[in-house]
Amino acid sequence: MENFNFHVTTDIRFGKDRLDELPTVLNEFGKRVLIVYGGGSIKKNGLYDKVANELKENGNTVFELAGVEPNPRVTTVEKGAEICRQEKVDVILAIGGGSVIDAAKVIAAAAFYQGSAWDLVLERKGFAGPALPLVTILTLAATGSEMNTNAVITNWKTKEKLGTAGPSMLPKASFLDPQNTFTVNQYQTAAGSADIMSHLIENYFNKTEGTDVQDFVAEGIMRAVIKNCPIALKYPDDYDARANLMWASSLALNGLTGNGKQGSWSCHAIEHELSAFYDITHGIGLAIITPRWMEYVLNEQTAGKLAQFARNVFGVEESVDRMAARMGIQKLYDYFKACKIPMTLPEVGIDDEKFSLMAKQAVAHSSIDKNGYVPLDEAAVEEILRQSLVERNFE
């Protein structure tokens, strides 16, 4: 196990009907609030009105940035930062899923930043500057952004989708009410769950030895997702299923399953290029890429861990590692299919036209060629993309 820090100070308020606590939480930071949200689903399901009512009764001065995109644009971030500066905003309230929260994080930091928001994202060693306090109300179980310091922003001009992170961007408080995900449709529920699975898988397959706690915890959270996602798909207002997916999303990427380890994430590096070039749903891209990546990296060194995944997550009983590994990959693929996720690239409108360009960028924007679980060069990424063109059988 490697040395690590764990310092996740977000005040999580998990559960039903706790918005009456929102004024107390916000008042700690000030009265001028910027609400950041997305396409307006919160107006349809009543959440917007509930929040607006709490803020009105609390005497807040409210500003709004609506229309944050699913892969949030740096242009939107600039707009938000400008409001913060102009209106002397005290605190940002993000209401939405990972995209909204990610945008809000970079808005919070860009408000104080000398330079463009894209320059801030390009500070690849991480962002060390200050940020406005951020409070979130989560409406989608997926990215874990509600309990970590990360944000991913897309520059549509340069076709780049890049991550940034910094301690000041950690949400001060996050309201996690599973009821706010009852209206998430099947496709987004499945995509969000695939995103959670991917975070756990990326942390799990790692070269650092001796991380049983992290690994066995990740296996447990994976099993919780695999059990509860199908329930949520069938019964969208099953509270416990939604609650388990929501808490899984936060724990999958708050350091718990990744700390004490080294190495860079492979499937995310590849998927970020798919999203940057084709604007597809992040979780769907991950679900498509992951089984192909697993098959590509399966070798004598990795068979043991892939077999452990198959046995401990999917209950595979095969005793030969390589065979168990293949059965586990197949089970993951079948699980995603059962969640009605389109499992080939053409189904989401992607052909091989930009494979070589995307492969080049995936390597350039990450360190997967050096620090991947199995190092991946451009040819390897292209091969994984090619395997994603058609339906597969891995056994």
> Residues interacting with a second copy, by CB under 8 A?
1-16, 18, 178, 209-221, 223-224, 227-228, 239-241, 243-244, 247-248, 251, 256, 259-260
Is the Cβ of residue 43 or residue 227 nearer to a second copy in the bound state?
227
**If we measure between CA atoms, which residue out of 133, 98, 104, 135 comes closest to residue 246?**
98
> Are the C-beta atoms of residues 96 and 45 closer than 8 Å to each other?
no
Task: Please report how close the Cβ of residue 154 comes to a second copy at its closest, in angstroms.
Answer: 30
Is the Cβ of residue 28 or residue 395 nearer to a second copy in the bound state?
28
**If we measure between CA atoms, which residue out of 266, 288, 380 comes closest to residue 332?**
288
Is the Cβ of residue 15 or residue 39 nearer to a second copy in the bound state?
15
Is the Cβ of residue 255 or residue 283 nearer to a second copy in the bound state?
255
Task: Please report how close the Cβ of residue 144 comes to a second copy at its closest, in angstroms.
Answer: 13
DSSP per-residue string spanning 281-341: -HHHHHHHHHHHHHHHH-STTTHHHHHHHHHHHH-----SHHHHHHHHHHHHHHHHHHTT-
Task: Please report how close the Cβ of residue 138 comes to a second copy at its closest, in angstroms.
Answer: 13
Pairing type for strands 134-138 and 11-14 reads unpaired
Is the Cβ of residue 194 or residue 256 nearer to a second copy in the bound state?
256
Task: Please report how close the Cβ of residue 241 comes to a second copy at its closest, in angstroms.
Answer: 8
Report d(CA 155, CA 69) in Å as an integer. Answer: 12
Is the Cβ of residue 4 or residue 88 nearer to a second copy in the bound state?
4
- Both structure tokens of 9: 């100070």
Is the Cβ of residue 5 or residue 393 nearer to a second copy in the bound state?
5
- Max Cα–Cα distance, the chain, nearest Å: 65
> Are the C-beta atoms of residues 83 and 34 closer than 8 Å to each other?
yes
> Are the C-beta atoms of residues 161 and 281 closer than 8 Å to each other?
no
Residue with tokens 């930071």: 29
The DSSP letter of residue 365 is: T
Task: Please report how close the Cβ of residue 222 comes to a second copy at its closest, in angstroms.
Answer: 8
> Are the C-beta atoms of residues 90 and 58 closer than 8 Å to each other?
no
Hey, which residues does 154 pair with through a beta bridge? 73, 161
Q: How many Cβ atoms from other residues are within 10 Å of residue 319's Cβ? A: 9
Task: Please report how close the Cβ of residue 113 comes to a second copy at its closest, in angstroms.
Answer: 26
User: Nearest 5 degrees, angle CA 105-CA 108-CA 114?
Assistant: 120
Task: Please report how close the Cβ of residue 4 comes to a second copy at its closest, in angstroms.
Answer: 5
Task: Please report how close the Cβ of residue 263 comes to a second copy at its closest, in angstroms.
Answer: 17
Is the Cβ of residue 257 or residue 366 nearer to a second copy in the bound state?
257
Report d(CA 229, CA 215) in Å as an integer. Answer: 21
Hey, which residues does 155 pair with through a beta bridge? 160
Task: Please report how close the Cβ of residue 42 comes to a second copy at its closest, in angstroms.
Answer: 21
Task: Please report how close the Cβ of residue 232 comes to a second copy at its closest, in angstroms.
Answer: 12
Is the Cβ of residue 209 or residue 391 nearer to a second copy in the bound state?
209
Is the Cβ of residue 154 or residue 180 nearer to a second copy in the bound state?
180
Q: What is the chain's alpha carbon radius of gyration, rounded to the nearest angstrom? A: 20
> Are the C-beta atoms of residues 122 and 113 closer than 8 Å to each other?
no
